[in-house]
Structures are given as C-alpha cells and as structure tokens.
Amino acid sequence: MSSPRRTLVVWDGQSLRQELLEALLQADRRGDEVIVALIKAEEGFSCTQPATGGRRIERLSGFLRSRLRSPLYLLPTKSGQLSMAQLALRLRYDAPVFAHLVTSEQTLARAAASLLGCTTQIVESDTGPDLLVDAPSPSLRRGLFVTRAQPFHLGHAACVQKIAEEMDEIIVLVALSETSHSLQNPATAGERLEMIHPYLQRIVPGRFHLAAAPYQLHTACNISELQLLLPSFERVYSNSRSVQVLAVSAGLRCSSVQSNVGVSGTQVRLALQCGDDLEGLLPPEVEAVLGRLGMRERLQRLASEEVREEN
C-alpha cells in the first residue's frame, strides 16, 4: 500500500489571507491529506503573536475542516529556537511523510528542497484582509489522553472510545515524541500520528485533536505549557502517577484510563519482532500503516545481534 499524498503547510495560524487559503484548497484538490504545522505554537500574548497555539487550533479547526474535503492534521509546532534548516529536519520526524511543502519563508523552502527532497511553494501570508472571524468559541468539554503509542493498539482504542463517551472532544497527545528507533520506542512522532489519525477520523470524526510533545520528564512547567500549545481541556486521562499529580496541582481533573482489552505495547512490539500474527491487537488502520512503514522489519533489525568486524 502506497503512502497518502500529503502537502505540509507551514504557517503560524495567527491570520488567514486569501493566497494562503487558495494554497490550502489547492493542496486539498491535489492530494489525499493536508498537514498544517502551526509554528511558534509556544508563543502568544504579543503584538505579532497574540493568540496561543491552542487558541489558534480552536479558531482554525472548524473553519478548515468545513472547507477541506481531505483529512486534516493540525499540529502545534514549537519553532522559536530553531533555524529554518533545523525546522525542516524536525518536520521530517515530527510530521507524517509529505511530498510538497507550502511556506512564506524562502529559507525554509530552500532547506526543505535540499534536505528533504520535497517540492516547495512560496505564498504570501500577510497581505489582504484576515478571513478568520473571531467568533465566540463553543463551550466544549475536552479530555487530554496522554500516551506513547508505541504503537497505538486496541487497548488505546478502547480508552479513546471511553473518553469520547464522556467528553465533547478528545485530544490525543503522543508523548516522548523525540524518541524513536529503539526496541521500546521504534516509531517517530510523525509515524505515530500517521497511525492514530485514520482511526480517530473513523471513530470520532470532527471531535478530535492530535498532537505530539517531546517531554521526557514530567514537570509542572510541561503541564502548564500544554495549556498554551493545545486547545483548552478540563480533564487529563493518564495512568502515569506523575502526570496525575501534576494535573491535579495545575487545577485539572484527572482520571486513570483502564480498558477491558488485554493488549499492551510490549506485547505488540514482541509480536512484530517475532513475525507473529497481529490479529486482535491493533485497529485495522494502524496495522495497515505499520505495514507500509516497514515497522516489523525495523524492530527485527533493532533486535538483531550487533556484528563487529575485527581489525
């Protein structure tokens, strides 16, 4: 199975001008999926970056989904400390695979063409009237589900369905996004987003947000930053005691997430590594993506004994 044709639009999401909207609509017509990387997501409350990353996602989500026919990824992206070349390389691993990049930054376009081998398009993003109407946001109850998703399995799927029954919308946060290519964490953040997105699109269409965060350590600062990067949420769902305590300290309600499905990530990774059948372990969308990514072969190679040549 071939990978979906995707365009990645790199944009801060503070305003939407006609030329950028046309580029989004063109990407929608040309490919199978559209990815928007909302850069400077860690910023807000300034003259140039007034809206936080989470507020931008809330404003854009309904607007874009009502106009695009293709599945949409709307990814908050921290970029303030990165050069354009570093940002291009980061997007290779933090976003699903894409073949075309749209940006207003010529340096980013040159870096992406050279380092990633993708085609690029330059658009003006700051001319003309803002097409976004800042209407009052509906009062939605959102739950944040934190998981490594290495890989996303039927146990995770059962948790998502349970949360969806309790909340209006669900935010699935892929944790440890910077960790990949090891036996315990084989998939990159972009690959994990790629396996989760089609499942959410089928089960809770229009009711989910999907993001990734790199935090290796659970700290109060990280929980607070998530409230900047993500749409507002009132409950955190996690089995991590540290996450639970920090969420409560931040004034958030917290719940553990238990399912009746006896599947673990360790079990799935071992089945992939040993070439065993995956029936009853994964949603079909995830199994298809793992096959396309060659995850079985990756885990088998990671598990193989290192051979060193003697000098």
Chunk the chain into consecutive blocks of 10 residues (it has 311) and report each block's average pLDDT, rounded to whole numbers: 89 94 96 96 94 95 94 94 95 96 97 97 86 74 93 94 94 93 96 97 95 76 87 89 85 83 91 93 96 95 76 59
Indicate the burial class of 180 (C-beta count within 10 angstroms; 0-12, 13-18, 19 or more): middle
CATH H superfamily, domain 6-122: HUPs (3.40.50.620)
Is-above-0.85 flag for pTM?
yes
Q: What is the pLDDT of residue 195?
A: 96
Place of tokens 């354009």: 84
pLDDT at residue 251 in the model: 86
- At residue 49, the pLDDT reads 94
Chain region(s) in the chain for CATH 3.40.50.620: 6-122, 138-311
pLDDT score of 42: 93
Task: Please state whether 128 falls in left (phi above 0), alpha (psi between -120 and 50) or beta.
Answer: left
By C-alpha distance, which of 213, 266, 207, 208 is closest to 243? 213
pLDDT for 182: 95
User: Are 195 and 151 contacting, i.e. CB atoms less than 8 angstroms apart?
Assistant: yes
d(CA 234, CA 244): 13
Alpha-carbon gap, residue 90 to 99, rounded angstroms = 15
Four-way CATH pick for 138-311: 3.10.180.10, 3.40.228.10, 3.40.190.10, 3.40.50.620: 3.40.50.620
Q: What is the pLDDT of residue 23?
A: 96
Structure tokens at 210: 């999907």
Closest CA to 75 of 156, 10, 167: 10
pLDDT (0 to 100) of residue 126: 76
Residue 71 confidence (pLDDT): 95
> How far apart (Å, rounded) are the C-alpha atoms in residues 55 and 68?
20
Tokens of 113: 């063409």
Written as one letter, the residue type at 260 is N
CA pair distance 309, 205, nearest whole angstrom: 53
Per-residue model confidence (pLDDT) at position 240: 80
- Predicted local distance difference test score (pLDDT) of residue 260: 76
Q: What is the pLDDT of residue 156?
A: 94
pLDDT of residue 136: 60
Query: Per the structure block, which two tokens stand in for 39?
Result: 């850069």
